[in-house]
Amino acid sequence: MLKEIYSRFKSINNNARVIIAVGPLINIPISMFMTYATIYMSKLGLTAEQIGIISSISLLAQLINSFYAGILTNKLGRKRTITIFDTIAWSFACLVWAFSKSFTAFLLAALLNSFVKVSEIAWRCILVDDSSPQERIVIWSFQNIVFVIGGLFVPLGGILVSHYGVVFATRIMYIIGFVAMSIGIFIRYANITETSIGIMMMQKNKNGGYKEVMKDVLDAIKYILTHPENLLLLTIVVLNNFQFILKNTYNNLYLISHLKISDRMVSIFPAISTIMTLIAMFVIIPKMGRSNEKKALLIGLALTSLSNLLFVLSPPKQIGMLILTTLIGSVGFAVMSPNLETCWANSIDDKKRANVVSYSSILITAISIPAGAIGGYIYTINPVMLFILIFALSLLTCVIGWMILRADKKTVGNRLHGIST
């Protein structure tokens, strides 16, 4: 099994291998401190509404950054863009978070972190630019492992919290994040090369002016609107992002305040999620095959929706129910995430990827801006209502996923009918 995994890893291009291999240095610290981020702010005196305001302002800043993310990625190149803006968004932001004591300091850190929208475009391009459509499901499957593997280390954060308390322990996690991420960014810069499409786009955009930028914007919008599958997949991405912001901001607060789970016990759920996700990736997903990513996407969305429903129904202090919810959600994420990324990447022309993803990111961020404030308002009125909203959004993604699968079957059927006649 390990030999097969290694063989699959070696089969992907060098840039993708480097990004994936260095990923744990960035994702492990993120998993650790993000678990306690809202609790950390709450312990330092911020209210749920203030936390929501920071989230919304951060998203507004991300929206502004998204406007020029594709332009910078094409002008500076993928390699330089990801290096410069990951340093700002993660290394610098971690330092500010580590020493924050007030609303203003947390807001500054969030504004620095908002530059992640620029580096994200470059990161996506580096991962898939020089890969074939068949290679991308392998790349995103490995990247998905990197995303979730950080959860195995979250209990270390729980140990720190039990020894030093939430505030001091979280400061330590942010400092660890600064060191690990800076090392990871340096190693990545030293080992990746500019992609062939990146070089071509740098030359094309070397002397680009305002007219060229506006043309890129209009071309990207036209591309999205004239490709129904891309538009539907983008809608799923938008809804998933909105859910993620709500869950990421208020999930752990809900566990502690409403479901009466202790600060230390909160850290076990990311670890359980990671273990189950890895099992799903190596045991369940290979048996599903790679013939129909859209069918797999729908299955993943349905499992995620079921997990959200069970979470709403979870009574206080029922660890067993929460573990079941976590297990189902983990399998759903493991199936949904790489297939959504693959379907979306395959629906975009290689030469248009940076701009389409960049301006899609603007839409995603614009719609997500009120998420934090809306979440804070609803949570203040009734915490359960917020998670009912999350379930409703996930159910809507299932409907859209079914529409995509149905349209795909019709297309295949029409092609077969055309061949037979």
Give tens-digit pLDDT for 109-132. 999 999 998 999 899 889 888 888
Mean pLDDT of 174-181: 97
Architecture of domain 10-420: Up-down Bundle (1.20)
pLDDT, tens digit, 9 for 90 and up, residues 335-362: 998 889 888 888 887 777 767 877 787 7
**How does residue 321 score in pLDDT terms, banded at 50, 70 and 90?**
very high
**How does residue 419 score in pLDDT terms, banded at 50, 70 and 90?**
very low
Short-list 47, 46, 59, 49, CA closest to 370: 59
Is 300:339 a contact under the CB 8 Å cutoff?
yes
User: For the packed helices 210-226 and 228-257, what is the interaxial angle rounded to 10 degrees?
Assistant: 90
For the chain, which residues make up each domain, given as ranges? 10-420
pLDDT, tens digit, 9 for 90 and up, residues 128-141: 888 887 788 788 88
Mean pLDDT of 78-87: 96
**How does residue 410 score in pLDDT terms, banded at 50, 70 and 90?**
low
Short-list 344, 379, 343, CA closest to 364: 344
DSSP 8-state class, residue 88: I
Amino acid, single-letter form, for residue 82 = I
Residue bearing tokens 């593997």: 149
Is 375:94 a contact under the CB 8 Å cutoff?
no
Short-list 276, 268, 298, CA closest to 409: 298
Q: pLDDT exceeding 70 applies to what percent of the chain?
A: 93
Chain centroid, CA 215 distance in Å: 29
Q: Report how far residue 366's alpha carbon sits from residue 207's, in angstroms, rounded to the nearest whole number.
A: 29
Is 161:36 a contact under the CB 8 Å cutoff?
yes
Is 276:327 a contact under the CB 8 Å cutoff?
yes
> Over 80: is that where the pLDDT of 1 sits?
no
**How does residue 213 score in pLDDT terms, banded at 50, 70 and 90?**
low
Short-list 173, 184, 175, CA closest to 83: 184
| 258/292: higher pLDDT | 258
Mean pLDDT of 262-283: 82
Is 245:371 a contact under the CB 8 Å cutoff?
yes
Mean pLDDT of 224-236: 88
Q: What is the pLDDT of residue 303?
A: 96
Q: For all residues of the chain together, what is the average pLDDT? A: 87
Amino acid, single-letter form, for residue 353 = R
Q: What share of the chain is helix, strand, coil (3-state, %, to 5)?
A: 90, 0, 10
Q: If residue 324 lies in a helix (H) or strand (E), which one and from where to where?
A: helix 319-346
In Å, what is the CA distance from 194 to each residue of 130, 358, 360?
10, 18, 23
In three-state secondary structure terms, 162 is: helix
Residue bearing tokens 């809202």: 38
Q: Report how far residue 287's alpha carbon sits from residue 303's, in angstroms, rounded to the nearest whole number.
A: 17
The structure's pTM equals 0.71
Short-list 48, 74, 107, 99, CA closest to 351: 74
Question: Following DSSP, what letter does each residue of 234-292 receive, concatenated?
Answer: HHHHHHHHHHHHHHHHHHHHHHHHTS---TTGGGHHHHHHHHHHHHIIIIIHHHH-SS-
> 177: burial class by Cβ within 10 Å (0-12, 13-18, 19+)?
buried
> Over 90: is that where the pLDDT of 52 sits?
no
Least confident of 45-59, 115-129, 323-337, 365-379: 365-379
